[in-house]
Structure 1
Amino acid sequence: MSIHLIRHGQSAFNAVFTGAGDPMIFDAGLTPLGHEQATAARIHVAELGIREVICSPLTRALQTARLIFPTDHIHVVAETREHLGHSCDVGRAPAALQAVFPDISFSHLPDIWWHQGELNAVGVPVEPADVFEARMVLLASALRARDARPLAVVCHGHVIDALTGTHPDNCGIVELRN
Structure 2
Amino acid sequence: MATVILVRHGRSTANTAGLLAGRVDGVNLDELGREQAAATGKRLAAVPLVGVVSSPLERCLQTAQFIIDRQPAAPYAPTDSGLLECDYGQWQGRSLKDLATEELWKVVQSQPSAAAFPGGESLAEMQARSVAAIRRHDAAFESEHGPGAVWAAVSHGDIIKSILADALGMHLDMFQRLNVAPASVSIVHYGPQRPSVYSINTEAGDLSWLAKAAHTGDAPVGGGSGHQAP
1:45-75 CA distance string (max 9 Å, x none): 1012211110100110001111221254421
Tell me the amino acid that sits aligned with residue 85 of structure 2.
E
2:24 pairs with 5, 23, 26, which one?
26
Number of aligned positions between the proteins: 142
Shift of 1:168: 1.7
Shift of 1:24: 9.0
In the alignment, structure 2 segments of 5+ residues that lack a partner are 94-115, 166-177, 191-230
Runs of 4+ in 1 over 3 A off after TM superposition: 22-25
**Is the CA contact 2:127–2:159 (under 8 Å) kept in the aligned structure 1?**
no
**Is the CA contact 1:158–1:167 (under 8 Å) kept in the aligned structure 2?**
no
* CA–CA distance in structure 2, aligned partners of residues 24 and 174 of structure 1: 22
Name the structure 2 match of 1:49: 48
Shift of 1:159: 1.2
1:79 pairs with 63, 69, 82, which one?
82
Name the structure 1 match of 2:216: none
Name the structure 2 match of 1:66: 65
Taking only the aligned residue pairs, the percentage that are identical comes to 25
Ranked by relative contact order (alpha carbons within 8 Å, sequence separation 6 or more), the top structure is 1
Cα 1:11–1:145 shift into 2, 3 Å: same
Bigger proportion of residues as helix: 2
Cα 1:37–1:128 shift into 2, 3 Å: same
CA RMSD of superposed structures (Å): 2.5
* CA–CA distance in structure 1, aligned partners of residues 162 and 22 of structure 2: 25
2:152 alignment partner, SS class: strand
**Is the CA contact 1:160–1:167 (under 8 Å) kept in the aligned structure 2?**
no
1:144 pairs with 138, 147, 165, which one?
138
* CA–CA distance in structure 1, aligned partners of residues 81 and 23 of structure 2: 20
Shift of 1:176: 1.9
1:103-152 CA distance string (max 9 Å, x none): xxxxxxxxxxxxxxx984xxxx4222232122134224313312242111
In the alignment, structure 1 segments of 5+ residues that lack a partner are 89-117
TM-score w.r.t. structure 2 length?
0.55
Name the structure 2 match of 1:173: 185
1:5 alignment partner, SS class: strand
TM-score w.r.t. structure 1 length?
0.70
